[in-house]
Copies of this chain bind each other. A is one copy, B any other.
Amino acid sequence: MSDSADLKKAGLKATLPRLKILSILEAAKVHHMTAEDVYKALLETGEEVGLATVYRVLTQFEAAGLVIRHNFEGGRSVFEINQGSHHDHVVCVECGEVFEFYDPAIEERQRKVAESLGFDVDSHSLYMYGVCLGMKRHGHCSKKEGR
């Protein structure tokens, strides 16, 4: 259950930067962070880590299945901790908030489509972009900042 054990299980040495990054991702209120976000959070805890390390570690975590990388609109990657349960995303283009949902019917239809193509699916992602309720109604929402 400890982060240290999680890392070992993934075949990764339990180094300080890795432990810190993992705990930041786990503790994050907004749990979709860019590499830069993680780097800033590390600096705030007074940690001496290089941005290169953040990228390297996030990529290793992705390969190990500890985190999920998303390529949202705009080109930069965002990462979220992998809590086991697959879900899809709805992103507000005004405030940046990310909602998650899971729809078994959609998952099933995707599986069928892949099957009919003879495709072995490794991963799939479904993103919807639009304007959230708060921004529509009041021009702001819980996460007011734009981008």
Contact = CB atoms under 8 A, between A and B. Distances in A.
B117 A123 contact: no
A1 interface: no
A5 to B, nearest CB: 30
A110 B106 contact: yes
A123 B127 CA distance: 9
A130 B126 contact: no
Contacts of A114: 90, 128, 130
A78 to B, nearest CB: 11
A108 to B, nearest CB: 9
Interface stretch (A14-22, A34-42, A97-105): A97-105
Interface in A65-95: 71-75, 77, 90, 92-93
A72 B133 CA distance: 28
Interface of A: 71-75, 77, 90, 92-93, 99, 101, 103, 105-106, 109-110, 113-114, 117-133, 136
Which 6 pairs of residues, A with B, have the shortest CB-CB distance? A118-B133, A121-B130, A124-B128, A126-B126, A71-B71, A120-B131
